[in-house]
Amino acid sequence: MEVIHYFDSDRQKHWREAIRRSDWNAGPFLAQLLRDGTFFDAVGANSQVLLLTDGDALISYCTYAEKDDIQPTELTPWVGFVYTFPEHRGNRYAGLLFAEVERLARAEGVHEVFLSTNHTGLYEKYGFTYQTTLTDLDGNPSRVYSKRTDPARENMNNPYCAFAKQCSANRVYPLSIAQGFQDGNIFIDANKGVRAVLFWHYAGFAYLSGEITEALLDRIYRNYLLAERNRRFVLITGDTAAVRFFADKPGITIERRVEYRYDKAPPETIGTCGYRIEAISDANLQKIRGRIIPSFAWSSEKQFLKNGFGYVAMDGDTVAAVAFSASVSTEEVDIGVETAEPYRRKGLAKALVGRMCRDIVFMKKKPVWAHAASNTGSMQTALSAGFSVDRINTVIKTDFL
Protein backbone atom coordinates (compact mmCIF):
# COMPACT_ATOMS: atom_id res chain seq x y z
CA MET A 1 0.00 0.00 0.00
CA GLU A 2 1.09 3.54 -0.67
CA VAL A 3 -0.10 7.01 0.28
CA ILE A 4 -0.05 9.17 -2.84
CA HIS A 5 -0.99 12.78 -3.56
CA TYR A 6 -3.81 13.10 -6.07
CA PHE A 7 -2.37 16.19 -7.74
CA ASP A 8 1.01 14.48 -8.21
CA SER A 9 -0.56 11.46 -9.89
CA ASP A 10 -0.73 10.89 -13.63
CA ARG A 11 -3.90 8.81 -13.08
CA GLN A 12 -6.18 11.50 -11.71
CA LYS A 13 -9.20 10.37 -13.73
CA HIS A 14 -8.87 6.82 -12.34
CA TRP A 15 -8.69 8.00 -8.72
CA ARG A 16 -11.45 10.57 -9.22
CA GLU A 17 -13.77 7.83 -10.45
CA ALA A 18 -12.83 5.66 -7.45
CA ILE A 19 -13.70 8.52 -5.09
CA ARG A 20 -17.01 9.03 -6.91
CA ARG A 21 -18.01 5.43 -6.15
CA SER A 22 -17.95 6.05 -2.38
CA ASP A 23 -21.20 5.12 -0.62
CA TRP A 24 -21.17 8.52 1.13
CA ASN A 25 -22.53 11.65 -0.50
CA ALA A 26 -19.39 13.68 0.30
CA GLY A 27 -17.35 11.34 -1.94
CA PRO A 28 -19.17 12.16 -5.20
CA PHE A 29 -19.14 15.83 -4.15
CA LEU A 30 -15.34 15.74 -3.77
CA ALA A 31 -15.01 13.95 -7.11
CA GLN A 32 -17.12 16.68 -8.74
CA LEU A 33 -14.93 19.43 -7.24
CA LEU A 34 -11.87 17.70 -8.66
CA ARG A 35 -13.48 17.11 -12.05
CA ASP A 36 -14.78 20.66 -12.41
CA GLY A 37 -11.54 22.29 -11.23
CA THR A 38 -13.25 24.02 -8.29
CA PHE A 39 -11.52 22.09 -5.49
CA PHE A 40 -9.05 24.85 -4.65
CA ASP A 41 -11.80 27.48 -4.74
CA ALA A 42 -13.72 25.46 -2.17
CA VAL A 43 -10.98 24.50 0.28
CA GLY A 44 -7.93 26.70 -0.37
CA ALA A 45 -5.11 27.08 -2.87
CA ASN A 46 -2.49 24.86 -1.24
CA SER A 47 -4.77 21.97 -0.30
CA GLN A 48 -4.06 18.29 -0.93
CA VAL A 49 -6.06 15.11 -1.57
CA LEU A 50 -4.33 12.12 -0.01
CA LEU A 51 -5.05 8.61 -1.28
CA LEU A 52 -4.17 5.29 0.35
CA THR A 53 -3.83 2.91 -2.59
CA ASP A 54 -3.04 -0.73 -3.20
CA GLY A 55 -2.20 -1.12 -6.87
CA ASP A 56 -5.28 0.11 -8.76
CA ALA A 57 -7.51 -0.05 -5.67
CA LEU A 58 -8.37 2.97 -3.55
CA ILE A 59 -8.47 1.96 0.11
CA SER A 60 -9.04 5.27 1.89
CA TYR A 61 -8.77 9.00 1.26
CA CYS A 62 -8.91 12.39 2.93
CA THR A 63 -8.06 16.03 2.29
CA TYR A 64 -5.49 18.23 4.00
CA ALA A 65 -6.87 21.68 3.36
CA GLU A 66 -7.01 25.28 4.42
CA LYS A 67 -10.81 25.05 4.83
CA ASP A 68 -13.46 22.41 5.45
CA ASP A 69 -17.15 22.57 6.36
CA ILE A 70 -16.73 24.97 9.33
CA GLN A 71 -16.70 28.44 7.77
CA PRO A 72 -15.88 31.16 8.46
CA THR A 73 -13.28 30.35 11.13
CA GLU A 74 -9.72 31.21 12.06
CA LEU A 75 -9.00 27.51 12.66
CA THR A 76 -6.75 26.00 9.98
CA PRO A 77 -5.68 23.63 8.44
CA TRP A 78 -8.31 20.89 8.34
CA VAL A 79 -8.41 17.15 7.75
CA GLY A 80 -11.58 16.56 5.75
CA PHE A 81 -13.48 14.14 3.50
CA VAL A 82 -12.17 11.21 5.56
CA TYR A 83 -13.42 7.93 4.09
CA THR A 84 -12.44 4.25 4.06
CA PHE A 85 -14.20 1.82 1.73
CA PRO A 86 -16.37 -0.66 3.67
CA GLU A 87 -14.38 -3.79 2.80
CA HIS A 88 -11.24 -2.26 4.32
CA ARG A 89 -12.70 -0.92 7.56
CA GLY A 90 -11.52 -2.20 10.91
CA ASN A 91 -7.82 -2.04 9.98
CA ARG A 92 -7.27 1.58 11.05
CA TYR A 93 -6.00 2.46 7.59
CA ALA A 94 -7.10 6.07 8.08
CA GLY A 95 -4.23 6.35 10.53
CA LEU A 96 -1.81 6.01 7.62
CA LEU A 97 -3.40 9.03 5.97
CA PHE A 98 -3.31 10.98 9.23
CA ALA A 99 0.39 10.18 9.58
CA GLU A 100 0.98 11.74 6.15
CA VAL A 101 -1.08 14.77 7.19
CA GLU A 102 1.11 15.17 10.28
CA ARG A 103 4.25 14.87 8.17
CA LEU A 104 3.04 17.57 5.77
CA ALA A 105 2.00 19.82 8.64
CA ARG A 106 5.35 19.53 10.38
CA ALA A 107 7.16 20.29 7.14
CA GLU A 108 5.09 23.49 6.88
CA GLY A 109 5.72 24.46 10.51
CA VAL A 110 2.07 23.79 11.43
CA HIS A 111 1.66 22.64 15.02
CA GLU A 112 -2.04 21.71 15.07
CA VAL A 113 -4.61 20.34 12.61
CA PHE A 114 -8.40 20.28 12.95
CA LEU A 115 -11.18 17.88 12.01
CA SER A 116 -14.96 18.28 11.88
CA THR A 117 -17.25 15.27 12.38
CA ASN A 118 -20.52 13.91 13.71
CA HIS A 119 -18.77 10.86 15.15
CA THR A 120 -18.00 10.40 18.81
CA GLY A 121 -15.26 8.00 19.92
CA LEU A 122 -13.81 7.39 16.44
CA TYR A 123 -11.05 9.93 15.95
CA GLU A 124 -9.93 9.75 19.56
CA LYS A 125 -8.35 6.42 18.55
CA TYR A 126 -6.00 8.35 16.28
CA GLY A 127 -4.92 10.90 18.87
CA PHE A 128 -7.47 13.64 18.12
CA THR A 129 -8.93 15.57 21.05
CA TYR A 130 -12.44 17.06 21.14
CA GLN A 131 -12.33 20.87 21.42
CA THR A 132 -15.80 22.33 20.82
CA THR A 133 -19.01 22.12 18.76
CA LEU A 134 -19.48 24.59 15.91
CA THR A 135 -22.05 25.04 13.14
CA ASP A 136 -21.18 23.65 9.70
CA LEU A 137 -22.09 25.07 6.29
CA ASP A 138 -25.45 23.21 6.35
CA GLY A 139 -26.38 24.80 9.67
CA ASN A 140 -25.87 21.60 11.66
CA PRO A 141 -23.80 21.20 14.83
CA SER A 142 -20.43 19.52 14.23
CA ARG A 143 -17.86 18.28 16.72
CA VAL A 144 -14.44 19.88 16.20
CA TYR A 145 -11.32 17.89 17.08
CA SER A 146 -7.66 18.86 16.96
CA LYS A 147 -4.33 17.10 17.02
CA ARG A 148 -0.87 18.42 17.79
CA THR A 149 1.80 17.68 15.19
CA ASP A 150 4.94 18.94 16.95
CA PRO A 151 7.86 16.50 16.48
CA ALA A 152 8.69 16.89 20.16
CA ARG A 153 5.20 15.55 20.95
CA GLU A 154 5.41 12.70 18.49
CA ASN A 155 2.21 10.72 18.27
CA MET A 156 2.86 7.08 19.13
CA ASN A 157 -0.17 6.11 17.02
CA ASN A 158 1.90 7.11 13.98
CA PRO A 159 3.20 3.75 12.70
CA TYR A 160 5.74 5.42 10.43
CA CYS A 161 7.80 6.74 13.34
CA ALA A 162 7.62 3.43 15.16
CA PHE A 163 8.84 1.52 12.10
CA ALA A 164 11.55 4.11 11.41
CA LYS A 165 12.93 3.69 14.91
CA GLN A 166 12.99 -0.09 14.46
CA CYS A 167 14.99 0.09 11.23
CA SER A 168 18.20 -1.85 11.87
CA ALA A 169 20.17 -0.32 8.99
CA ASN A 170 19.62 3.35 9.76
CA ARG A 171 17.21 5.49 11.77
CA VAL A 172 17.86 9.10 10.83
CA TYR A 173 16.88 8.92 7.14
CA PRO A 174 13.58 7.07 7.73
CA LEU A 175 12.74 9.29 10.71
CA SER A 176 13.52 12.46 8.77
CA ILE A 177 10.64 11.54 6.43
CA ALA A 178 8.27 10.24 9.10
CA GLN A 179 8.77 13.29 11.30
CA GLY A 180 8.35 15.72 8.41
CA PHE A 181 11.79 17.33 8.38
CA GLN A 182 12.66 16.17 4.84
CA ASP A 183 10.89 14.92 1.76
CA GLY A 184 10.57 11.32 0.67
CA ASN A 185 8.08 8.55 0.01
CA ILE A 186 6.61 6.00 2.38
CA PHE A 187 5.27 2.71 1.06
CA ILE A 188 3.32 0.26 3.20
CA ASP A 189 3.03 -3.52 3.12
CA ALA A 190 -0.26 -4.00 4.92
CA ASN A 191 -2.69 -6.85 5.42
CA LYS A 192 -4.80 -6.54 8.55
CA GLY A 193 -2.43 -3.87 9.74
CA VAL A 194 0.94 -2.51 8.70
CA ARG A 195 3.55 -5.28 8.49
CA ALA A 196 6.43 -3.48 6.81
CA VAL A 197 7.32 0.03 5.69
CA LEU A 198 9.67 1.17 2.93
CA PHE A 199 11.14 4.66 3.39
CA TRP A 200 12.54 6.29 0.24
CA HIS A 201 14.40 9.50 1.05
CA TYR A 202 14.71 12.45 -1.34
CA ALA A 203 18.46 11.70 -1.56
CA GLY A 204 17.61 8.32 -3.08
CA PHE A 205 18.40 6.15 -0.05
CA ALA A 206 15.72 3.55 0.74
CA TYR A 207 15.27 1.58 3.96
CA LEU A 208 13.03 -1.31 4.98
CA SER A 209 11.60 -1.94 8.42
CA GLY A 210 9.23 -4.61 9.70
CA GLU A 211 8.32 -8.06 8.40
CA ILE A 212 10.42 -8.37 5.26
CA THR A 213 9.03 -11.12 3.00
CA GLU A 214 10.20 -12.43 -0.36
CA ALA A 215 6.99 -11.14 -1.93
CA LEU A 216 7.79 -7.64 -0.68
CA LEU A 217 11.39 -7.86 -1.90
CA ASP A 218 10.19 -9.03 -5.32
CA ARG A 219 7.89 -6.00 -5.59
CA ILE A 220 10.78 -3.71 -4.68
CA TYR A 221 12.98 -5.39 -7.28
CA ARG A 222 10.44 -5.10 -10.08
CA ASN A 223 8.69 -1.84 -9.22
CA TYR A 224 11.54 0.26 -7.85
CA LEU A 225 15.02 -1.08 -8.58
CA LEU A 226 14.34 -1.98 -12.22
CA ALA A 227 11.81 0.75 -12.98
CA GLU A 228 12.78 4.02 -14.64
CA ARG A 229 12.37 6.83 -12.15
CA ASN A 230 13.26 10.51 -11.84
CA ARG A 231 15.52 9.89 -8.84
CA ARG A 232 17.74 7.01 -7.89
CA PHE A 233 16.60 4.13 -5.70
CA VAL A 234 19.39 2.72 -3.51
CA LEU A 235 18.28 0.13 -0.96
CA ILE A 236 20.42 0.08 2.19
CA THR A 237 19.84 -2.86 4.49
CA GLY A 238 21.33 -4.98 7.23
CA ASP A 239 18.84 -7.80 6.65
CA THR A 240 20.68 -10.98 5.57
CA ALA A 241 17.58 -12.47 3.94
CA ALA A 242 17.22 -9.37 1.76
CA VAL A 243 20.87 -9.55 0.76
CA ARG A 244 20.51 -13.21 -0.22
CA PHE A 245 17.38 -12.44 -2.24
CA PHE A 246 19.08 -9.77 -4.36
CA ALA A 247 22.51 -11.43 -4.61
CA ASP A 248 21.78 -13.30 -7.86
CA LYS A 249 19.22 -10.98 -9.40
CA PRO A 250 20.03 -9.69 -12.92
CA GLY A 251 20.96 -6.03 -13.13
CA ILE A 252 21.80 -5.68 -9.42
CA THR A 253 25.06 -4.44 -7.89
CA ILE A 254 25.93 -5.21 -4.25
CA GLU A 255 28.20 -2.87 -2.30
CA ARG A 256 29.00 -2.06 1.33
CA ARG A 257 28.31 1.07 3.35
CA VAL A 258 30.07 1.86 6.64
CA GLU A 259 27.96 3.52 9.36
CA TYR A 260 29.59 5.43 12.22
CA ARG A 261 28.55 6.58 15.68
CA TYR A 262 29.92 9.43 17.79
CA ASP A 263 30.22 8.49 21.46
CA LYS A 264 32.66 11.11 22.72
CA ALA A 265 32.15 14.65 23.94
CA PRO A 266 33.07 17.24 21.29
CA PRO A 267 36.34 19.08 21.89
CA GLU A 268 36.10 22.23 23.97
CA THR A 269 38.04 24.11 21.30
CA ILE A 270 37.44 23.64 17.60
CA GLY A 271 40.47 23.68 15.31
CA THR A 272 40.97 26.32 12.63
CA CYS A 273 41.77 25.68 9.00
CA GLY A 274 43.20 28.98 7.75
CA TYR A 275 40.00 29.91 5.90
CA ARG A 276 36.98 31.98 6.89
CA ILE A 277 34.25 29.74 8.32
CA GLU A 278 30.63 30.80 8.01
CA ALA A 279 27.31 29.21 8.93
CA ILE A 280 25.35 28.27 5.83
CA SER A 281 22.78 30.96 5.06
CA ASP A 282 20.81 32.27 2.11
CA ALA A 283 23.83 34.51 1.40
CA ASN A 284 26.21 31.64 0.63
CA LEU A 285 24.02 28.59 -0.02
CA GLN A 286 23.90 29.06 -3.79
CA LYS A 287 27.70 29.32 -3.93
CA ILE A 288 28.12 25.72 -2.76
CA ARG A 289 29.19 23.40 -5.58
CA GLY A 290 29.82 19.67 -5.69
CA ARG A 291 27.97 16.38 -5.33
CA ILE A 292 27.47 15.93 -1.56
CA ILE A 293 25.94 19.32 -0.83
CA PRO A 294 22.58 20.40 0.66
CA SER A 295 20.69 20.09 -2.65
CA PHE A 296 21.68 16.41 -2.70
CA ALA A 297 19.50 15.67 0.34
CA TRP A 298 17.05 18.56 0.61
CA SER A 299 14.26 19.29 -1.87
CA SER A 300 14.54 23.07 -1.55
CA GLU A 301 16.75 25.77 -0.12
CA LYS A 302 13.83 26.91 2.03
CA GLN A 303 13.47 23.46 3.59
CA PHE A 304 17.19 23.20 4.32
CA LEU A 305 17.44 26.65 5.88
CA LYS A 306 14.41 25.89 8.03
CA ASN A 307 15.21 22.35 9.21
CA GLY A 308 18.92 21.90 8.49
CA PHE A 309 22.19 23.70 9.12
CA GLY A 310 25.87 23.57 8.27
CA TYR A 311 29.15 25.42 7.76
CA VAL A 312 31.30 26.47 4.81
CA ALA A 313 34.99 27.32 4.60
CA MET A 314 35.36 30.35 2.34
CA ASP A 315 38.32 31.39 0.19
CA GLY A 316 37.19 34.87 -0.75
CA ASP A 317 33.84 34.29 -2.47
CA THR A 318 34.63 30.63 -3.22
CA VAL A 319 33.28 27.81 -1.07
CA ALA A 320 36.31 25.62 -0.42
CA ALA A 321 34.49 23.03 1.71
CA VAL A 322 31.09 22.38 3.26
CA ALA A 323 29.75 20.25 6.12
CA PHE A 324 25.99 20.09 6.58
CA SER A 325 23.08 18.11 7.96
CA ALA A 326 22.31 15.60 5.22
CA SER A 327 19.50 14.11 7.29
CA VAL A 328 17.78 15.28 10.48
CA SER A 329 15.49 13.70 13.05
CA THR A 330 14.61 14.51 16.64
CA GLU A 331 17.34 12.03 17.69
CA GLU A 332 20.20 12.17 15.18
CA VAL A 333 21.87 14.26 12.48
CA ASP A 334 23.75 12.68 9.59
CA ILE A 335 26.67 14.80 8.43
CA GLY A 336 27.52 15.30 4.77
CA VAL A 337 30.88 16.73 3.68
CA GLU A 338 32.33 17.97 0.39
CA THR A 339 35.73 19.59 -0.19
CA ALA A 340 36.58 21.15 -3.55
CA GLU A 341 39.52 19.42 -5.24
CA PRO A 342 42.09 22.28 -4.90
CA TYR A 343 41.46 22.48 -1.13
CA ARG A 344 41.73 18.82 -0.14
CA ARG A 345 44.19 17.52 2.49
CA LYS A 346 44.26 20.88 4.23
CA GLY A 347 42.15 19.93 7.28
CA LEU A 348 39.04 21.82 6.15
CA ALA A 349 36.65 18.90 6.48
CA LYS A 350 37.85 18.03 10.00
CA ALA A 351 37.45 21.65 11.14
CA LEU A 352 33.92 21.92 9.75
CA VAL A 353 32.86 18.50 11.06
CA GLY A 354 34.13 19.47 14.53
CA ARG A 355 31.74 22.42 14.51
CA MET A 356 28.89 20.23 13.32
CA CYS A 357 29.46 17.67 16.10
CA ARG A 358 29.65 20.44 18.70
CA ASP A 359 26.32 21.89 17.58
CA ILE A 360 24.57 18.52 17.28
CA VAL A 361 25.60 17.44 20.77
CA PHE A 362 24.49 20.85 22.09
CA MET A 363 21.06 20.10 20.55
CA LYS A 364 21.07 16.87 22.62
CA LYS A 365 21.17 14.79 19.46
CA LYS A 366 23.67 12.24 18.15
CA PRO A 367 25.98 12.91 15.20
CA VAL A 368 26.14 10.04 12.69
CA TRP A 369 28.23 9.46 9.58
CA ALA A 370 28.23 6.99 6.70
CA HIS A 371 30.11 6.39 3.46
CA ALA A 372 30.71 3.81 0.77
CA ALA A 373 33.26 1.25 1.94
CA SER A 374 35.54 2.25 -0.94
CA ASN A 375 35.70 5.91 0.16
CA THR A 376 38.92 5.95 2.17
CA GLY A 377 39.00 9.74 2.31
CA SER A 378 35.65 9.88 4.11
CA MET A 379 36.83 7.09 6.42
CA GLN A 380 39.92 9.09 7.42
CA THR A 381 37.84 12.21 8.05
CA ALA A 382 35.34 10.31 10.19
CA LEU A 383 38.01 8.66 12.33
CA SER A 384 40.02 11.86 12.77
CA ALA A 385 36.85 13.69 13.84
CA GLY A 386 36.19 11.15 16.60
CA PHE A 387 33.69 8.79 14.97
CA SER A 388 33.91 5.03 15.41
CA VAL A 389 32.52 2.28 13.18
CA ASP A 390 29.07 1.13 14.28
CA ARG A 391 28.07 -1.37 11.57
CA ILE A 392 28.46 -2.20 7.89
CA ASN A 393 25.31 -2.28 5.78
CA THR A 394 24.70 -3.70 2.34
CA VAL A 395 23.88 -1.39 -0.57
CA ILE A 396 21.62 -2.82 -3.27
CA LYS A 397 21.29 -0.85 -6.49
CA THR A 398 21.00 -1.32 -10.21
CA ASP A 399 24.01 -1.60 -12.49
CA PHE A 400 23.22 1.60 -14.35
CA LEU A 401 23.40 3.86 -11.27
What are the pLDDT digits (tens) for 259-280? 999 988 766 656 667 888 999 9
Residue where a domain terminates, one of 157, 179, 203 = 157
Residue environment code for 66-77, b if the CB has 16+ CB neighbours within 10 A, otherwise e: ebbbbeeeebeb
Cβ atoms within 10 Å of 157's Cβ, excluding its own:
17
Are 19 and 151 in a shared domain? yes
Cα angle 55, 68, 162 (rounded to 5 degrees) comes to: 50
Q: What is the pLDDT of residues 49-72, one digit of tens each?
A: 999 998 899 999 999 999 998 888
Domain extent, residue 369, equals 276-391
Question: Is 253 part of any domain?
Answer: no
For residue 288, is pLDDT > 90?
yes
- Is residue 340 situated within a structural domain? yes
Please report whether residue 193 resides in a domain.
Answer: no
The model's pLDDT over 293-305, given as tens digits with 9 standing for 90+, comes to: 899 999 999 899 9
pLDDT at 229 over 80: no
Specify the higher pLDDT residue, 160 or 265: 160
pLDDT of 121 reads 82
Based on the fold, state whether residues 141 and 288 are members of the same structural domain: no
Say whether pLDDT at 193 is over 70: no
Among 157, 192, 216, residue at a domain's last position: 157
Residue 323 counted as domain residue: yes
Instruction: Report pLDDT for 391.
Output: 94
Q: Is the residue at 72 inside a domain? A: yes
User: Tens digits of per-residue pLDDT, 379-396?
Assistant: 999 998 889 999 999 999
User: What's this model's pTM, rounded to 2 decimal places?
Assistant: 0.71
Residue 400 resides in a domain: no
Q: What pLDDT, on a 0 to 100 scale, did the predictor assign at position 235?
A: 97
Name the percent of the chain lying above pLDDT 90. 57
- Whether residues 139 and 281 fall in one domain: no
The CATH number of residue 18's host domain is 3.40.630.30
Confidence label for 73 from pLDDT (cuts 50, 70 and 90): confident
- Same domain, yes or no, for 12 and 153? yes
Q: Confirm whether 204 is domain-assigned.
A: no
Residue that finishes a domain, picked among 140, 157, 174 = 157
Domains in the chain, number: 2
Query: Among 164, 242, 154, which Cα is nearest to 201's?
Result: 164
- E-strand ranges in 25-86 read 48-54, 57-65, 78-84
Q: Is residue 364 part of a domain?
A: yes
